């Protein structure tokens, strides 16, 4: 099936993940591993982050911690109280029962509200365990295992997805679920954290969804659409017109 109007020969050759990370490190600096939270805290935080900004999900997590003394209190509370506490994160009426379901299942299965045992599971078993919970998809699983357990599982958020497509690492019609699989097969385990964070940095600051700043992109020579955008920027500048994207 044809997925790109340009022929493969006309597309720039993708950089390897190692060379891509090396270029981005020169621009954004090295990646410092983020604070490592308890696994259950990370899971709840990532559920709250679904379909909202980091600021809103962080505020919701802090409010949940402020209103309830521990996760058992969240489990036992009326679902409306939990939803009220996390309202700022959006979709509170979906996320509150989702969080309580996780807490109930963990307690039923293990007798205590802890997921620290995931540190000791092989990656595949840890993935399968987390996928049992409704609303916990590939990105949520990957975030929990990468950040809380330091397992080499690559989360593909909107920035990683978009930048990877523009750089030809995945096809333009590849959805998020398939992207996890395809990128995982390309990125060495030692680079998973760097790749994830560097592409997010680049996607937020330069390779944005609506107005990518190709004229200051260190990867533009390996981007399928970058050179055309640069030409458009140059034409607009020579005619004194505002830049179009």
Q: What is the mean predicted confidence (pLDDT) over 193-207?
A: 97
Q: What is the mean predicted confidence (pLDDT) over 78-103?
A: 97
Q: How do the domains of the chain map onto residue ranges?
A: 12-32+155-220, 39-148
Least confident of 69-78, 93-102, 206-215: 206-215
- Does 151 participate in catalysis according to the annotation? no
Residue with tokens 């020169």: 26
pLDDT digits (tens, 9 = 90+) for 141-198: 999 999 999 999 999 999 999 999 999 999 989 998 899 999 999 999 999 999 999 9
Residue-averaged pLDDT of the chain: 91
pTM above 0.75, yes or no: yes
Closest CA to 38 of 28, 30, 46: 46
220 burial via Cβ count (<10 Å: 0-12, 13-18, 19+) = buried
DSSP 136-203: --HHHHHHIIIIIT--------HHHHHHHHHTTSS-TT--HHHHHHHHHTTS-GGGHHHHHHHHHHHH
* Residue 131, CA distances (Å) to 53, 141, 164, 177 in order: 23, 7, 24, 13
Task: Select which of 95, 139, 151, 178 is catalytic.
Answer: 139
pLDDT at 88: 97
Quick check: 244 pLDDT over 50?
no
Closest CA to 193 of 23, 17, 52, 68: 17
pLDDT at 240: 52
Closest CA to 224 of 34, 1, 7, 2: 7
Q: 2: pLDDT confidence band, cut at 50, 70 and 90?
A: very low
Fold annotation for 39-148: Endonuclease III; domain 1 (1.10.340)
pLDDT at 150: 97
CATH top class, domain 12-32+155-220: mainly alpha
Please enumerate in sequence order all residues whose Cβ is within 8 A of that of 134, keeping only pairs 6 or more positions apart, or say none. Answer: 98, 101
């Amino acid at each position: 099936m044809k997925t790109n109007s340009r022929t493969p020969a006309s597309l720039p050759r993708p950089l390897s993940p190692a060379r891509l990370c090396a270029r981005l490190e020169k621009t954004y600096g090295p990646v410092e591993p983020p604070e490592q939270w308890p696994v259950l805290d990370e899971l709840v935080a990532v559920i709250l982050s679904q379909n909202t900004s980091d600021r809103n999900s962080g505020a919701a997590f802090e409010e949940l911690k402020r209103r309830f003394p521990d996760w058992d209190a969240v489990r036992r509370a009326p679902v409306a109280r939990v939803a009220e506490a996390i309202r700022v994160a959006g979709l509170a009426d979906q996320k509150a029962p989702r969080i309580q379901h996780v807490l109930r299942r963990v307690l039923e299965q293990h007798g205590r509200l802890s997921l620290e045992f995931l540190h000791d599971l092989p990656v595949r078993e840890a993935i399968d365990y987390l996928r049992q919970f409704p609303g916990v998809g590939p990105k949520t699983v990957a975030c929990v295992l990468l950040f809380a357990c330091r397992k080499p599982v690559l989360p593909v958020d909107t920035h990683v997805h978009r930048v990877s497509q523009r750089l030809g690492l995945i096809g333009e019609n590849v959805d998020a679920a398939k992207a996890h699989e395809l990128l995982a097969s390309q990125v060495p385990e030692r680079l998973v954290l760097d790749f994830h964070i560097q592409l997010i940095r680049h996607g937020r600051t330069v390779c944005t969804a609506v107005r990518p700043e190709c004229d200051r992109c260190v990867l533009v020579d390996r981007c399928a659409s970058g050179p055309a955008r640069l030409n458009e920027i140059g034409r607009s500048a020579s005619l004194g017109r505002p830049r179009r994207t």
